[in-house]
Structure 1
Amino acid sequence: MTGRPDLAALLQPLVKALIAAEVRVLEGRGISMWAYVVLSALDDGPVRTQAALAEAIGADKTRIITTLDRLQEAGLISREPDPGDRRVRLLAITAAGRRARREAQAEIQAGEDRLLALLPPDDREAFLRAAGTLADITALI
């Protein structure tokens, strides 16, 4: 073998371990990965329609209905009819949903910080900067 490994082969074990750690945190809080994705999307932006949310998170709009139902039943989101088109439901994160999402994220990132602390500070900063840049340009691939 010559040169460096493929990026996917290099990053796959790390991504797999990070996802497993994230799932453990979320399951401990009674939140599915899709629920966390929905809460994150709603916490990061304005009220969305179910169709716009599905598009934003890369999910089929019919696939997230059950997740939305569970989040609403738990009081983590609200779904209200759009006054301009009663066939459309407007989504919003509730204060409880925002708190649940932010607490889960803090726990997830605390675990990530323990991993990142194994790197020298300069490498840690460079890794986070490069990962952010690559994440921003993935649409170009």
Structure 2
Amino acid sequence: MSEAKRPDLAAMLAPLGRALVAAELPVLERNGLTMWGYVVLLGLGDEPVYTQSALAKAIRADKTRIIGVLDELQRRGLIHRAPDPADRRAHLVSLTPDGRTTRERAQREIQEQEDQLLTHLSAADRRVFLRALQTLAALTAEQ
């Protein structure tokens, strides 16, 4: 007897991804962020500084396309950009305290919504699901 066919991963993940993005948008709006702005703030992580080029690579964005996002985040005081003393053609990007606070608040609110969805899984299934997603996300980040 053959194993039951399962849907393709994209067929299962796409509707979930759309639902998660739809749930995130009001949170981001309340925090004055666009999706790309949030991605940039998350991409900066806890590192003290990134070059714009390294940040773009880390978040898988075209370095010229994120300039407008960086301009807006800097205008709002969420990031700081300065010429790299080692290479005046490059700019260093870092989170400001307000940027860190905004990122943490938005992420907390988003994860609270995700936790509501995850309550539909048992605690054991939740741990396995999150560990599997982290593993797959790390693999795709290396590509």
TM-score of the two chains, using structure 1 as the length reference: 0.91
Matches for 1:98-113 after TM superposition, within 5 Å = 98-113=100-115
Deviation (angstroms), 1:25: 0.9
Alignment pair present for 1:121 and 2:123: yes
Residue of structure 2 equivalent to 1:33:
35
1:132 to 131, 134, 137: 134
Deviation (angstroms), 1:140: 7.3
Matches for 1:1-141 after TM superposition, within 5 Å = 3-138=5-140
- Give aligned pairs, total: 140
Q: Which residues of structure 2 form unaligned runs of 5+?
A: none
Distance, in Å, in 2 between the alignment partners of 1:139 and 1:65 is 22
Q: Output the amino acid matched with 1:52.
A: A
Deviation (angstroms), 1:138: 2.7
Distance, in Å, in 2 between the alignment partners of 1:136 and 1:48 is 20
SS at match of 1:44: coil
Q: Which residues of structure 1 form unaligned runs of 5+?
A: none
